[in-house]
Structure 1
Amino acid sequence: MPLRAKVTNPAFRAPMSTASDIPTELPGDEPDDVLFNSVYGLRSVELNRPKKLNSLNGSMVRKIVPRLKEWEKSQLANIVLISGAGSKALCAGGDVAALALQNEKGIEGQKASTDFFGLEYRLDHLIATYSKPVISFMDGITMGGGVGLSMHAPFRIATERTVFAMPETTIGFFPDVGGSFFLPRLDGETGAYLALTSERLNGVQALYSGIATHYLHSSALSSVSQRLAELVFPDHMDLPERLDIVNKTMAEFSLGLPSTQEEPILLAANLRAAIDRCFRFDTVEEIFKALENETEQKEWAQKTLETLSIRSPTSLKVTLRQLRLGKTWSITETFQREHSIAANFMRHPDFVEGVKARLMSKPARQAQWQPATLQEVSQETVDAFFSIPKGETRLPLLSEGDYNRYPHERFGLPSEAEIEKFVRADGVSQKKTVQEFVQRYKQKEGVQEKVTEVLARRTAQGPQGLLWQE
């Protein structure tokens, strides 16, 4: 089913305004909820709310943004490192409980919540377009707001403790913080599957799926920090060269990946084929129907149907539309559009209900969504989430940087699209294809495993070499 053109709002095609004031701390902001440190050329940002799994709030964002802008101008600051206090989480998400309570106060509360998302998205966009290397330690729970602080950085380090998820549809929201950009750009329908189901990826699975760029044992992180502090970049060295040096430095601390016998690639083989088969449609109803008709992975399909059936119907429909449209959005348009979508969700009853049911009720209960069924969520209702009210303008950002593909994609594992392009052009044997990518990615760990899995799933041996299977 084709997407309707009316969701493209002309307001988003206007010239971008960058006349945005840098936020400053407000009276009542928590002291020490973010810790900053400088060691030689390394500047570190440590989220410091371990009892709340370092959940992100306005107080923290108002501290981080000015520091990043300050460090960007400093010749003494070479690298920025983002991490979380404690061993449980980088950041488990935004402080949505506070937002839900705020929304109950009416229009002013909803506007204040929308302003928080604007503040958060400006920080995420600043990281995405930062002029110096940024590294995120995704050690522990990395969800929602924590994903926004990570996914747009050139270096995203997963550990054995990493738990990645975008659980927004469980609380009547949508996968924001740039999810419109990175999720549709993951292999196949992986992004749609993760967004709609809130499936978790643990440890090395974050690397294989394209969420993380590196996998290190958590015991190595302090040594990595010390080594990064020692790096010195000549003044004339441009950003790509600096990033290459950081990339090589990361490899020095690897203790190897868990074997695929011990931890096989999760979103792979027959399961991955089923994900692509069932989640390739442009309507949630068609996805449900495909899952109902799935025969090869019947148990998985049934479990997935049960999962989706308790999600907010409005969230599911808005999220799928967001991902399909987001394939064409630039990183700037992504955050500006998401700000508009978030504003609409703050006015929708599902967000407060979802947060209360899932996070504030003891024990958690099933949310009572409004509307309660997919059939009741009209096309017009979904369209409204992608429009901005008359008189309102796009979110002003803190950087003029923009792009349609991450400029630092090369630091992760090769994408399935890259492997397909090589196979179709050269059609050589599996062994030579694997060797080519291992060499191309400079012996990077995980490349051999991923390329081997993709070739096993997507190719067949022909008389002249590998043939890519549609």
Structure 2
Amino acid sequence: MPLTAKVMNPAFAGSTKAKMSTLEATEQIRELPGDEKEDVLFDTLFGLRTIELNRPEKLDPLNGSMIRKIVPRLQEWAKSDMANVVVIKGAGEKAFCAGGDVTSLALDNKLGQEGQQRSIDYFALEYKLDHLIATYTKPYVAIMDGYTMGGGVGLSLHAPFRIATEKTVFAMPETTIGFFPDVGASFFLPRMAGATGMYLALTSERLKGVDVYYAGIATHYIHSTSLPALERRLAELRFKDYDSLDERLNLIDSTIEEYSTGLPHDQEMLLSGLLRKDIDACFGAETVKGVIGELKNRIANAKDESSAKWAEKTLLSLKSRSPTSIHVTFQQMKLGRNWSIAQTFQREHQIASKFMRHPDFTEGVHALLIRKDKTPEWAEPSNLEDVKRPAELTTPFFEVDESEKLKLLTDGDYKEYPHWRFGLPHESHIEAVVKKGNRTIPEVVGYFVREKRGKQGVKEVVEEVLARRAYSVEGGKAAWRGN
């Protein structure tokens, strides 16, 4: 019996009820006069359809011109019997997609209401694309080779297959520019293990290489030199007419696994051990004030020097951010756990619209990317510890205007990812097996290695989780520690 039938955690139960895209697009998105030429390249090889973001000199940032090219291609391929697999990647050696073109948005916002509306319209366009990807009816593979940030995360995070390489650099850096983690991060980050999603959201911390895989952000890890061969192999796959989508996805999963070339042995898992305990303790707090208090406590009282240094660095990082961004992001992570994928993009669009009219986003982009003095002057309250009534600050960002509700391109929706099984075991899955109470710690490890058919990284991740959260009781059986 498969793992999903045995130990399905309630957090993942919605995966069987997923509704993927079923409606024809009522809105036609097409290129506009003035759109860049060849900022996206498309290719066909047998059953493979490739999207290549082609602005390598700028690290392949996403803009409206690119979105207006990608959407109709995806819609066309979804209907085509000839298109078996879609792969998206970035041109050049450095990036998949380093984000959206926020500089253009900030410059537009300086022009007043008309410019702000252009920015709002851009986010509407971007989120429609992201939702289309999240509910796409054909196998979609994102190759996260190089910088994968902001807008690039939206193009990859919701795919059933997300490939990290030794060059991958993942981050949601929005709080550094007075914004919030968008592109569906409200859905993905709160569903990560423990408080790691909240930590990444508030701090903009970067994960590199194999740590993107260990954290569950990527479903596979492959050395970048193997990618061309993998693409050729994906192009050669043949599906039978009667194969279900799940059968096709399973074949793609096993094909990608064939190109896994091993994990680096000289790199310890970053989000593990004492650091992971500190993250859960501090960023699992119920309020921003609680997070700050936990960090200060570690600075003053931590027995381990590395813990105190981490807390000091993290506190300084949070204090440099826009207080409005920090509090909105914190509330977003709390609420997003209960949003469906469609609600996520609709709610994020309304939050983004408010940020386009708030001075912190424009000021943050100017300080970091235009003036480059890295000394933003945040709107009041300008210091994190000056925020006395967080609800007054955040409530306007979460007010819903039904008349401005984003109209998505399809009716696809779900409460949990339907394809979560292709990644490494989630901590909640490991907890469920341990709590059954009939296996020793080594037997729990062996169980997941077998269930995942020897997938690389399973043993390492399960052993790390058990070292933190499990212990042996009488008879040698594994038991789960409380928080």
TM-score by length of 2: 0.92
Structure 1 counterpart of 2:379, from 370, 373, 390: 370
Residues 140 and 163, structure 1, Cα contact 8 Å, conserved in 2? yes
1:300 matched to 2:310 = yes
Question: Are residues 459 and 468 of structure 1, via their aligned partners in 2, closer, same or farther at CA, if it must alter by over 3 Å?
Answer: same
2:142 counterpart SS class: strand
1:399 counterpart SS class: coil
CA distance in 2, matches of 1:457, 1:269: 7
1:421 matched to 2:427 = no
Q: Percent identity, aligned pairs only? A: 56
CA distance in 2, matches of 1:431, 1:228: 36
1:183 counterpart SS class: helix
Superposed CA deviations along residues 395-452 of structure 1, whole A, max 9, x for unmatched, are 0111211111111100000000000000001341111111100011111000000000
Aligned pairs (5 A) from 1:403-442: 403-442=414-453
**Residue aligning to 2:334:** 324
Structure 2 counterpart of 1:275, from 276, 279, 299: 279
**Residue aligning to 2:394:** 382
Shift of 1:380: 2.2
CA distance in 2, matches of 1:199, 1:446: 22
CA distance in 2, matches of 1:70, 1:29: 20
User: How many residues are treated as equivalent by the alignment?
Assistant: 451
Superposed CA deviations along residues 96-148 of structure 1, whole A, max 9, x for unmatched, are 00000000111111111011001000000000000010000000000000000
Q: Which moved more, 1:234-243 or 1:378-387?
A: 378-387
Aligned pairs (5 A) from 1:55-134: 55-134=61-140
CA distance in 2, matches of 1:71, 1:369: 45
CA distance in 2, matches of 1:222, 1:45: 14
Q: Which moved more, 1:282-291 or 1:95-104?
A: 282-291
Residues 25 and 410, structure 2, Cα contact 8 Å, conserved in 1? no
2:194 counterpart SS class: coil
Residues 82 and 137, structure 1, Cα contact 8 Å, conserved in 2? yes
CA distance in 1, matches of 2:269, 2:455: 16
2:353 counterpart SS class: helix
Structure 2 counterpart of 1:284, from 279, 282, 288: 288
**Residue aligning to 2:249:** 243
Superposed CA deviations along residues 262-319 of structure 1, whole A, max 9, x for unmatched, are 1111000011011000011232111001100122421111110011010110000000
1:217 matched to 2:223 = yes
Shift of 1:378: 4.1
Q: Which runs of 5+ in 2 are unaligned?
A: 1-22
Residues 97 and 359, structure 1, Cα contact 8 Å, conserved in 2? yes
CA distance in 2, matches of 1:20, 1:123: 14
What amino acid sits opposite 2:374 in the alignment? Answer: R
Residues 437 and 479, structure 2, Cα contact 8 Å, conserved in 1? no
CA distance in 1, matches of 2:286, 2:437: 33
**Residue aligning to 1:467:** 479
**Residue aligning to 1:354:** 364
Residues 323 and 383, structure 2, Cα contact 8 Å, conserved in 1? yes
CA distance in 2, matches of 1:168, 1:434: 37
What amino acid sits opposite 2:322 in the alignment? Answer: S
**Residue aligning to 1:165:** 171
TM-score by length of 1: 0.94
Q: Which runs of 5+ in 1 are unaligned?
A: 1-16
CA distance in 2, matches of 1:18, 1:276: 43
Runs (4 or more) in structure 1 with deviation over 4 Å come to 17-20
What amino acid sits opposite 1:451 in the alignment? Answer: V
Residues 127 and 149, structure 1, Cα contact 8 Å, conserved in 2? yes
Residues 18 and 396, structure 1, Cα contact 8 Å, conserved in 2? no
CA distance in 2, matches of 1:42, 1:339: 32
CA distance in 2, matches of 1:195, 1:83: 24
Shift of 1:50: 0.3
Superposed CA deviations along residues 328-379 of structure 1, whole A, max 9, x for unmatched, are 00000000000000000000000010001011124x3221110202334642
CA distance in 2, matches of 1:283, 1:125: 30
Superposed CA deviations along residues 55-104 of structure 1, whole A, max 9, x for unmatched, are 00000000000000000000000000000000100000000000000001
